[in-house]
Amino acid sequence: MQRSLILGLLLACAASLGICGVILEDGAPILWAQTASQLTDLPNQNGVVTPNPWNYLHRLSMLRLLIAATDPYMSSMGTNATDSPLWGLPLQLAWMLTSGRFVDPTGATTCGQQTADPMCISTQSWWGCINYFPSSLPFLSAAKEGFLGADVQVQMQVPEGEDFCTTYADCATRFPDAMNKWDTFYQGLTAAMLSPLPDNEKKDAILGLYWEALTAVTHASAVCINKQSHYSSKEVAFANSWMNSAEYVAAAHFQSSMANSVPFITPLPSRILQETDTLPIADLSDDENHTLKTFGWMKSINDMLFGTVVGMWKSAMCSVTTREKGRAMLNELMLNPRFATQTFLSLVGEIRSSC
């Protein structure tokens, strides 16, 4: 992709919106058409695939290749080409790019700036750091499990002076739980192909393995915590509430397909929050303000009750049936401003009593 075209796309978005929260372009994650469609399109050194995960197009390429490699095993998800839960990852990546969350927050470099190096993902960005794990670790595991082809070797590029795991062996040593759960996810996909279970049960099982793996990489990304010091207290509060919301989504086995993910990701704040921001924030949309309010409420009520709300939610998500109800509740809570938070808590209690 020519740099001028990348820059033109992002600047046009910024000019039309003032801020840029667009995540789709022609029905796909932004700049999807510029990514690698086959493994040989990625850099290769001496027979080893060497993507640069500090470049947006390389991260997006890895996710595109993962989706393509696993799609043949996802028939239980539905008949649409975008029903795989893996679609949530590139959409999340696109939001982080267009909302400016990959820009160097220290200002020491021009990494990520639209007028300088728009595809750069700063190693100083907390968002760039935590997103390294769900972008790189699943790719390394997929290569090890043979989903990218026979005997494919991968080593991630890493900026000089940075300490990120770059190979399967390295990441498995540092984050054994995360790598083991991704291995289990891919093995589960293979097993599902031979399983006699009905599609709804296969689907639920695959989603369970997927969210266990994604939760494990979220825990691994705790190593990024020091990078939160580069941001305002408002952005940090949002970041922590965003992480907290993943606990609910994971327990409900949310199917993060394209159609399901877009409504949840589009209303995320389209710029980094500043210390002076107070709800409702004037230059953010009603939907963005609603999302910030809801995320903040979910985190604060859970903290106030010493983590028991998340615990209640997880115990309520005890079966295929209750998880279906849980997904419907999350949809109402996040997307319907008229849905009362008190109703949410009472419904959690009702569902839990059926377990």
Q: Which of 178, 213, 230 is the last residue of a domain?
A: 230
Give the pLDDT confidence of 32-87 residue by residue, as tens digits.
999 999 999 999 999 999 999 999 999 999 999 999 999 999 999 999 999 999 99
Please report whether residue 250 resides in a domain. no
Residue 177 has pLDDT above 90, yes or no: yes
Please report whether residue 59 resides in a domain. yes
Question: Is 194 in the same domain as 299?
Answer: no
Question: Is 167 in the same domain as 219?
Answer: yes
Residue 341's pLDDT band, with cuts at 50, 70 and 90, is confident
Residue 5 has pLDDT above 50, yes or no: no
**What's the full length of the chain, in residues?**
355
Question: Is 89 in the same domain as 140?
Answer: yes
**Res 2: pLDDT:** 40
Question: Is 62 in the same domain as 199?
Answer: yes
Please report whether residue 216 resides in a domain. yes
**81 φ, ψ to 5°?**
-70, -15
Question: Is 274 in the same domain as 198?
Answer: no
Residue 110's pLDDT band, with cuts at 50, 70 and 90, is very high
Question: Is 189 in the same domain as 331?
Answer: no
Q: What is the 3-state secondary structure (H, E, C) of the chain?
A: CCHHHHHHHHHHHHHHHCCCCCCEECCEECCHHHCCCCHHHCCEECCEECCCCCEHHHHHHHHHHHHHHHHHHCHHHCCCCCCCHHHHHHHHHHHHHHCCCCCCCCCCCCECCCCCECCECCCCCHHHHHHHHHHHHHHHHHHHCCCCCCCCEECCCCCCCCCCCCCHHHHHHHCHHHHHHHHHHHHHHHHHHHCCCCHHHHHHHHHHHHHHHHHHHHHHHHHHHHHHHHCCHHHHHHHHHHHHHHHHHHHCCCCCCHHHHHHHHCCCCCCCCCCCCCCCCCCCCHHHHHHHHHHHHHHHHHHHCCCHHHHHHHHHCCCHHHHHHHHHHHHHHHHCCCCCHHHHHHHHHHHHHCC
Residue 4 has pLDDT above 80, yes or no: no
Structure tokens at 178: 């995360």
Question: Is 300 in the same domain as 173?
Answer: no
Question: Is 222 in the same domain as 344?
Answer: no
For the chain, the average pLDDT equals 93
Question: Is 108 in the same domain as 200?
Answer: yes
Separation in Å, CA 51 to CA 7, 133, 135, 159:
22, 14, 11, 12
Question: Is 69 in the same domain as 216?
Answer: yes
Alpha-carbon gap, residue 52 to 151, rounded angstroms: 20
Our count of domains for the chain comes to 2
Please report whether residue 298 resides in a domain. yes
**Res 124: pLDDT:** 97
Residue 250 has pLDDT above 70, yes or no: yes
Give the pLDDT confidence of 180-238 residue by residue, as tens digits.
999 999 999 999 999 999 999 999 999 999 999 999 999 999 999 999 999 999 999 99
**Res 21: pLDDT:** 61
**Res 267: pLDDT:** 95
Residue 303 has pLDDT above 50, yes or no: yes
| Average pLDDT estimate for 1-29 | 58
Alpha-carbon gap, residue 282 to 26, rounded angstroms: 29
Please report whether residue 240 resides in a domain. no
**Res 322: pLDDT:** 95
**Res 232: pLDDT:** 98
Please report whether residue 243 resides in a domain. no
Residue 128 has pLDDT above 50, yes or no: yes
Whether residue 90 is preceded by a cis peptide bond, meaning omega within 30 degrees of 0, is no
Which of 206 and 12 is assigned the larger pLDDT?
Answer: 206
- The CB density around residue 279, as the number of other CB atoms within 10 Å, is 11
Residue 20 has pLDDT above 70, yes or no: no
Please report whether residue 204 resides in a domain. yes
The structure's pTM equals 0.93
**Res 339: pLDDT:** 87
Please report whether residue 43 resides in a domain. yes
Domain range for 88: 3-230
Question: Is 223 in the same domain as 332?
Answer: no
Question: Is 78 in the same domain as 138?
Answer: yes
